[in-house]
Amino acid sequence: MTYAKVELTRQNRKAGVTLSAMNKITQDMRYKQAVIEYSLKHGVTRAAIRYKTSRQNIYRWRKKYDGTVRSLANGSHRPHSHPNQHTEEEITLVKNMRRRNPHAGLVVFWVKLRQRGYTRSISGLYRLLCRIDGKPIKLPNPKYIAKPYEKMTYPGQRVQIDVKYVPSACLAGEAAEEKFYQYTFIDEYSRFRYLEAFKEQSTYSSTQFLKHVIEKFPFAIECVQTDNGFEFTNEMGNSKKKSLTLFEETLARLGIRHKKIKPFTPRHNGKVERSHRKDNEYFYASHKFYSFEDFARQLAVWQRHYNNFPMRPLNWISPKAVLFSFPNV
């Protein structure tokens, strides 16, 4: 490449035009010249067929052609005048308003401008904002900052109890028309669980389950956390007179505090809800139950597997190992 070409390339790059872009334009101009010269010899129709273009294009190029290739260069398509363009006063108004309202959306901003005498359409305003770089500055969405969850320091300090409906797709044979329920107890400190199968979901079943939990769990239970389901409490009932359920009476008689989570916020019972999600993924998704006894038997096997499986929140120690490694067991 000669020095002249190198210098030309450098100048073109400074101007934002690469040498390849210039070659592309030149080739297009030479193509038009070849079409015109062929049409002068053989006619416009044959030229249009040969060069795969329209007759109208050839007539237009011939009208521009003065015998030089430069005459076939593409001209600017920009209109000579813009009778409806924004005036300087309108542009100044828009800029000043945008400076005072940097976060206002398009509709809100347009309404504010109209209140100050602006008469253009909202689409016209949008095009102007794009041209003057006046789009709104989006503020970051405020992030939800969760409260630090209270960590338990010993087993039995607080436990969670919940009920899970057994999916009907898991029931087969004589159990296909029945309904089974899984009652779940989980210790917040050790993640140790106790599961039991029931045929009904009621405050009586909840009370029976609580008695079995107290018998099986090797630590004294200080607080039981549940949702506001009817099997635990009457808080969400329609009656104005709120009486204690059998489950609540049993807790009071045993000296165990009952903590109810905020209504419609199951995440506050997160540990037991997360364990139910694991039940769906690793137990119910791959098991069938042909009777209530079969369901209870398989549920006990799954409980042993869960309590002996290492968990990341426990530093890869199983819930059973964490529970029974605590002093005074």
Q: For the chain, give the longest Cα–Cα distance.
A: 112
Q: Are 311 and 319 in contact (CB under 8 A)?
A: yes
Question: Which pair of tokens denotes residue 100?
Answer: 């005072």
Rounded Cα–Cα distance for residues 245 and 54 (Å): 88
**Residue 89: which H helix or E strand, with range?**
helix 88-100
pLDDT at 240: 66
Which pLDDT band, with edges at 50, 70 and 90, does 17 fall under? very low
> What value does the mean pLDDT take over residues 41-66?
93
Residue 317, C-beta contacts closer than 8 angstroms, at least 6 positions apart: 310, 311
Helix 88-100 × helix 106-114 angle, to 10°: 120
Is the model's pLDDT at 99 over the cut of 80? yes
Domain ranges (residues) in the chain: 3-72, 88-131, 159-324
pLDDT at 25: 58
Which pLDDT band, with edges at 50, 70 and 90, does 241 fall under? low
pLDDT at 6: 41
Q: Are 198 and 180 in contact (CB under 8 A)?
A: yes
Residue whose entry in the numeric block shows the structure tokens 């398009």? 106
> What value does the mean pLDDT take over residues 280-287?
96
| Nearest residue to 90 via CA among 81, 82, 80, 77 | 82
Q: Are 282 and 170 in contact (CB under 8 A)?
A: no
Coil, strand, or helix at residue 165?
strand
Q: Are 82 and 90 in contact (CB under 8 A)?
A: no
What percentage of the chain reaches a pLDDT higher than 70?
91
287 backbone dihedrals φ, ψ, rounded to 5°: -125, 150
pLDDT at 8: 46
Q: Using the 8-state DSSP alphabet, how is residue 327 labeled?
A: T
170-195 pLDDT tens trace = 999 999 999 999 999 999 999 999 99
How far is Cα of residue 183 from the mean position of the Cα atoms in its chain?
32
257-278 pLDDT tens trace = 999 999 988 989 999 999 999 9
pLDDT at 23: 45
Q: Which of 47-51, 106-110, 242-246, 255-259 has the lowest mean pLDDT?
A: 242-246
Opening angle at CA 275, ends 270 and 279, nearest 5: 145
Residue 30, C-beta contacts closer than 8 angstroms, at least 6 positions apart: 69
pLDDT at 299: 97
pLDDT at 162: 97
Which pLDDT band, with edges at 50, 70 and 90, does 214 fall under? very high
Question: Which pair of tokens denotes residue 289?
Answer: 């139950």
Is the model's pLDDT at 65 over the cut of 70? yes
Q: Are 232 and 273 in contact (CB under 8 A)?
A: no
**Residue 57: which H helix or E strand, with range?**
helix 55-64
Rounded Cα–Cα distance for residues 196 and 185 (Å): 9
Please give the CATH number for the structural domain made up of 159-324.
3.30.420.10
Which pLDDT band, with edges at 50, 70 and 90, does 80 fall under? confident
Range with the largest mean pLDDT of 89-93, 136-140, 239-243: 89-93
**Whether pTM exceeds 0.85:** no
Rounded Cα–Cα distance for residues 75 and 164 (Å): 74
Residue whose entry in the numeric block shows the structure tokens 């009476």? 249
295-329 pLDDT tens trace = 999 999 999 999 999 999 999 999 999 999 998 75
Is the model's pLDDT at 58 over the cut of 60? yes
> What value does the mean pLDDT take over residues 123-131?
94
pLDDT at 82: 81
Helix 19-42 × helix 44-51 angle, to 10°: 140
Averaged pLDDT of the chain = 89
Q: In what order do the strands lie in the sheet with 159-165?
A: 193-198, 181-187, 159-165, 223-226, 257-260
Question: Which pair of tokens denotes residue 304?
Answer: 């042993």
